[in-house]
Amino acid sequence: MVRSRPPAPKIEPEKRDWHYGGFVDLGYSLDFNFPQNHLFRNRSTTPRVNELDMNMAGAYIRKDMSEQSRWGMELLAQGGQDAKDFGFHVNQPKVGSSDQLRLTVQTGLFNSLIGYDSLYAKDNINYTRPWIGDYSPYLMFGVNASYPFSEQLTATLFVINSYFHLSHPNDQPSYGGQLAYKATQRLTIKETVYYGPQQADTSLEFWRLFFDTIAEWKGDEVTVAFEHQIGTENLAVPGSPRTFWTGAMIPVQWNFSGPWSVAIRPEFYWDRNGRLTGFEQLVKAMTTTLGYRIPYGWTNTILRLEHRYDESTGAGGGFFKGGEVSPGVIGLTSAQHMLIFSAIWTFDSP
């Protein structure tokens, strides 16, 4: 009689606290206006056109938090066109609790609590970022503390150095908070408010007030999101004129077949007084993206083909076109078509 052997015990992979990795992001934006200066006007991400650029590259080391070790950190060094305004990324979260991970405190430079899109194109639905993304903070420098009151509701408070972390309009901090509500397993809603001085005169009447609303529905194959931003502040000049800006977008992504995905993003941005973009303008844009993802071991390669159409109206609005119309002045046009090719390679240890 042959005795059957008991099944071999299942070996769980060892959980590691420390991780490392990196990424490279290459892009070519074909601007059919062919501006002589190779610039996507009024943009801080993917700012160069009609040339191959390394828009971002980075390497990181990260330590996760756990019950056994309630502190973590992340150090990310980055470079490229998209990194010129953002420098290094240092993230040091700390946790304290009697029996489980509840209150989380982050100090240093951390991902912004404002905005749906990341500074890093590898993490986004589309390759190029929306207008509300480029004119709200991608990163914050300071401290934040979050606490989950339930499985559905988490509250976060933050104190940061400035609206844009590399700007220094004064020596006073800015403040804000966020409520994140998980309405269902698929639907999440976030409301974030920012309040702080962004001018040399720090009188309360000149503080900036800003709201960011995000809703995301994430299905098995389809993701639909909505984001709306609105901000206002009085300028510290004679008459104290009130400035106002607002914008919104609806990004949608469909993973229609294995590694293939398609995404679309209609959006608008109205800078009524030119406070953020530098020019009074209303921008409307439509972005369409075809993506293909190749996973291999610890790596992922993301290939994208993207078309975007931007239209700007208003005093001083528009996009660069052709050469100089007068000494040192590039011509402007109200609309811009771009065809963008990108390749992103990522490496992440388990």
Cβ atoms of 102 and 147 closer than 8 Å? yes
Domains of the chain, start order:
22-348 (2.40.160.10)
DSSP lists the bridge partners of residue 160 as: 142, 174
| The two three-digit tokens of residue 288, written as one number | 């369409």
Instruction: Give pLDDT, residue 66.
Output: 75
What is the spatial distance between Cα 294 and Cα 49, in angstroms, rounded to a whole number?
26
Global confidence as pTM: 0.90
| 292-342 pLDDT tens trace | 999 999 999 999 999 999 999 998 899 999 999 999 999 999 999 999 999
Q: In 72-152, where do the E strands start and end?
A: 73-79, 89-95, 104-111, 139-148
Cβ atoms of 320 and 331 closer than 8 Å? yes
How far is the first Cα of the chain from the last one, in angstroms, to the nearest whole number? 45
Q: Report CA torsion sign: 196, 201, 204, 209.
A: negative
Instruction: Give pLDDT, residue 6.
Output: 59
| 199-220 pLDDT tens trace | 999 999 999 999 999 999 999 9
Instruction: Give pLDDT, residue 305.
Output: 99
Cβ atoms of 90 and 109 closer than 8 Å? yes
Mean pLDDT by 10 residues, the chain (350 residues): 55 75 98 97 95 95 81 86 63 44 86 96 97 96 96 97 92 98 98 98 98 98 99 97 98 97 99 96 98 97 99 94 94 98 96
